[in-house]
Amino acid sequence: MLRCRIHDVLSRHLELRQLRKVAQSHGRPELPELVKIDPFEAVWRVSIPNHEPRFMSVRSGAVNHEFFVVHLDAERFYHAWFKASPRIPRRRCSDCICRFQMSADYKYKWAVDGFSHGVNNPGPLAESGAHVDAGGRLCLGFTNGVTRTYWLLENHCPAFPVKVCGGDSAHLLHQTAGLVPGPTALAELFSKTNPQYV
């Protein structure tokens, strides 16, 4: 057990050092493309290097004014999430693990399947957020979709959208790792009522 923990701490140290190097030369990726929007659902095409694109969606609901879409620079987000997580991640929570460990997540095969159905059955956006704790420390996490996010990061997706509850959380997440434009409320997104399809 102690040997495993030492290995985990060393792996995280090496991963963080690599992420710092990447951050120095990292350019801004292109936004995922909004390929469909109707009064009920918005769908984005998400690029995956050396693979067919995948599709992610968010559905309209009764509290659209409380939820936002934030487009994340995947590498910046991974770096920030990794740095904000404890050196020994807790099991079954939204702590970030090393990229090489992500495919070992117990739900990973479901993420593989969930992203395999194309534009007519897209995977739902992960539900993420950010806040600053009482000690002034940035905290990043998920209420849903950790394993989907692992799949995207493990496959080096350059950018992807997430769903965030609350304007303060959405703006802090955007400030941490977001792409222009900033957070978009679902109420604003679904005010575009003209259907568009691929």
Confidence of residue 198 (pLDDT cuts 50, 70, 90): very low
Dihedral (Cα; 145, 149, 104, 22), 10-degree rounding: -160
pLDDT for the residue 17: 77
pLDDT for the residue 15: 77
For 179-192, give one letter per residue: b (16+ CB within 10 A) or e.
Answer: beeebbbbeebbee
Q: Report the range of poorest mean pLDDT among 34-38, 59-63, 118-122, 153-157.
A: 59-63
Read off the pLDDT of each residue in 161-174 and give the average, rounded to a whole number.
98
Residue 13 has pLDDT above 90, yes or no: no
pLDDT for the residue 86: 79
pLDDT for the residue 49: 95
Read off the pLDDT of each residue in 106-112 and give the average, rounded to a whole number.
94
137-156 residue pLDDT tens: 999 999 999 999 999 999 99
Read off the pLDDT of each residue in 50-66 and give the average, rounded to a whole number.
93
